[in-house]
Amino acid sequence: MADVLTFTDRGIYCPAGDFHIDPWRPVDRALITHGHSDHARPGMGRYLATEGTAPVMRHRLGQITLETTPYGVPIRIGDATVSFHPAGHVPGSAQIRVAVAGEVWVVSGDYKTVADGLSEPFEPVACHAFITECTFGLPVFKWTPQDVLTQQINDWWAANAAAGRTSILGAYALGKAQRLLATVDPAVGPILTHGAIESTNEVLRAQGINLPDTIRVTAEVTHKTHPGALVLATPSALGTTWTRRFGPSSTAFASGWMALRGVRRRRAADRGFIVSDHADWEGLNTAIRATGAEKIFVTHGYTATFRRWLADQGFDAHVVSTDYQGEGFDQPDEAEA
């Protein structure tokens, strides 16, 4: 039996349906797992995505030909049947199931298995072959439990406010920033947001996603107008003139990379919070086992190491080269924004 999906220089391709999934070069028909710019790129003839992903795509890509689908509804495209299933990565994110002549393959996109109270929770999808990211495919990556993370961030913010410091927290504009907003305690003080984050907040609020009140940072917004504030900033804004308006401050990063010693030090952060919108080591292994798949393709992340691990566990495991970036700590904000 021919492979349901193949791997080309334009992206993951389905010959039976003549479509690509998250292509990185222009194609006629693109099925999109989620709105981050390394997965949803401009220049495609037609797009298909979930109803929850569409508003962010339109916000970022402008006037595009975009069809939407609810989760779990089968769609016939040529000789293939596709459906979208929650990935738990960011609001609206999906895994894409592709079935051809009884053979089922699933493309994970980016995902996490721990519910964050914001994104639709990850749902395992049974399949014969699973194409998975492995951004954090090493045992060292283990995320802080949500209740502990909440306490850590709120305590840090409250201590800074009591000492007259502004708390500046670096987070990507789509997903991570809103997850942190749902985590922090607004009673501690005002919450200020970088323009890129606030624009995304507006898109998600219009979809009915509940977020606490925030204030867009403009030229008039400083530590004097909003003492004791928490500032959510894109990573590229940290350490620039944009942040210096906030006077005495403490800077923190919220990233899975904070699990590695030395990363926080290289970025000159006062604190590092270990949290990601991608699966950690345990989450990756749990998700893969839950699919029941025997054939596993690993894409972006620690691919060689993770493939060897999977092979040792008895999987038919392969590395696939893609143009996805995962949680690229030093990548431009839009890569994971």
pLDDT band at 2 (very low <50, low <70, confident <90, very high): confident
Q: Does domain 6-140+277-335 have CATH number 3.60.15.10?
A: yes
Residues of the chain with pLDDT > 70: what percent? 95
Residue type, 70: P
pLDDT in tens, 246-264: 999 999 999 999 999 777 6
The predicted model gives 15-29 an average pLDDT of 98
More confident residue, 184 or 2: 184
Report the pLDDT value the prediction gives residue 111, as an integer from 0 to 100: 98
Q: How many CA atoms lie within 13 A of 79 on its CB side?
A: 10
DSSP 120: P
Q: What is the mean pLDDT of residues 71-94?
A: 98
Listed by start position, the domains of the chain span 6-140+277-335, 146-273
Mean pLDDT across 3-30: 97
Which two tokens mark 196? 């890129």
- Long-range contacts at 115-119 (CB < 8 A, ≥ 24 apart): 115/88, 116/88, 116/146, 116/179, 116/182, 116/277, 117/146, 117/182, 118/91, 118/178, 118/179, 118/182, 118/209, 119/86, 119/87, 119/88, 119/89, 119/90, 119/91, 119/92, 119/93, 119/175, 119/179, 119/277
More confidently predicted of 334 and 91? 91
Average of per-residue pLDDT across 287-308: 97
Give pLDDT, residue 266: 67
pLDDT of residue 267: 66
What's the whole-number mean pLDDT along residues 221-228?
94
Compute the distance between CA of residue 169 and CA of residue 221 in angstroms, rounded to an integer: 16
Using CA atoms, how far apart are residues 72 and 83, in angstroms rounded to an integer?
A: 6
Per-residue pLDDT, 263: 78
What pLDDT does residue 262 have? 75
- Asked if the model's pLDDT at residue 334 lies above 80, the reply is no
At 330 the pLDDT is: 41
Does domain 146-273 bear CATH number 1.20.120.10?
no
The pLDDT score that the predictor gives to residue 116 is 92
pLDDT tens by residue, 143-158: 999 999 999 999 999 9
Most confident of 179-193, 232-246, 255-269: 179-193
pLDDT for 6 beyond 90: yes
Assign 157 to helix, strand or coil: helix
Residues 116-133 have pLDDT tens digits of 989 999 999 999 999 999
Which residues are within 8 A (CB) of 146 and not within 5 positions of it... i.e. 6 or more apart?
Answer: 114, 116, 117, 183
Instruction: Tell me how long the chain is.
Output: 337
Q: Quick check: pTM over 0.85?
A: yes
pLDDT, mean of residues 236-242: 88
